Amino acid sequence: MKIALDPYMFRGVELTKLPGLVADMGYEYVELSPREDFIPFFVHPRVDSGTVAKFKAELAAAGVRISSVLPLFRWSGPTEEARQAAVRYWKRSIEIAVDLDCNVMNSEFNGRPEQSSESEALFWRSIEELLPIFEREQVELRLEPHPDDFIEEGRKAIDMIRGINSPLVSFLYCAPHTFHMGGDITGIMEYAGDLLTHVHVADSFDHRASSGLRYIINPPGSPARIHQHLDIGQGEVDWDEFFGTLDRIGFDGVMTVCVFAWEERARESSVFMREEIERRTSTWVRP
């Protein structure tokens, strides 16, 4: 199993200095999420081949490898024009991942929940264009349901991935989205089965608690999707169930720390999370 860090809280650190920082905090793997100097949110990648080469050299010098690259584009709309642009951005992002010797990319379904059928139609169009490229480059794609996307529930996301019907496309369980996915950690993980190849680790509060009266945002009934990315133990995700289920089903994929809430103590949080994951998985036996 690979324990990786999403260094989003360190996005002010120069890209080529990230590997040394990640290694200094005890990580061997890094998951590259959106950064303004790399692949920003929803627009074309900014990094050039020269910077990729320098970054790759710094990774080797620090003894750090890339577990995955996480781009976020509007490949499910809201418009055909936006979808076509997103496909172009995806193509360049795949090139970057290949240049970095990374064969895993993960992302979200995107789109809009109030336009789920329209978003799905655009998503399939994008998949039809991009899947042959993933297959040609032998790059795996791991998808997660995200709050406020056209797919938010865990089982529906797994069914969609099964519909893609490619051995390169699998499921990512994001722990801080547990309560938006349905709240059933064990059930969703078991339903995914061998499709579960990647998990994101951060805590969150259950916005559904107190009969739905736990108002994290006012007014009551707001359609905003509220969730946090906290340290383990700061929210209400059942971590005994989370790690226990992963152990029982033999999970051996990528486990990414993705805490975003504590930029003022980013290093402390990142080290704590690595140590806590190592403690909870230390008894796991894998071939």
- Characterise 148 by phi-psi region: left (phi > 0), alpha (psi -120 to 50), beta (else): left
Q: Which residue has the tokens 């040609």?
A: 136
User: How far apart, in whole angstroms, are the C-alpha atoms of residue 176 and residue 17?
Assistant: 28
pLDDT band for position 92 (cuts 50, 70, 90): very high
Buried b (16+ CB within 10 A) or exposed e, 8-38: bbbbeeebeebbbbbbebebbbbbbbbbeeb
Contact 274, 24 (CB under 8 A): no
Instruction: Tell me the domain boundaries of the chain.
Output: 2-281
User: How far apart, in whole angstroms, are the C-alpha atoms of residue 31 and residue 26?
Assistant: 14
Q: Is the pLDDT of residue 156 over 90?
A: yes
pLDDT tens digits along 99-150: 999 999 999 999 999 999 999 999 999 999 999 999 999 999 999 999 989 9
Tell me what pLDDT residue 221 has.
63
Please report the DSSP string for 181-231 in residue order.
HTS-HHHHHHHHGGGEEEEEE-B---TTTGGGT--SSSSTT--------B-
Tell me what pLDDT residue 226 has.
75
pLDDT tens digits along 234-275: 999 999 999 999 999 999 999 999 999 999 999 999 999 999
Q: Which residues contact 266 (CB under 8 A, 6 or more apart)?
A: 9, 10
pTM reported for the whole predicted model? 0.95
Looking at 77-81, 101-105, 210-214, 283-287, which range is the least confident one? 210-214
Range of 135-144, 178-187, 198-207 with top mean pLDDT? 135-144
What is the CATH topology of the domain spanning 2-281? TIM Barrel (3.20.20)
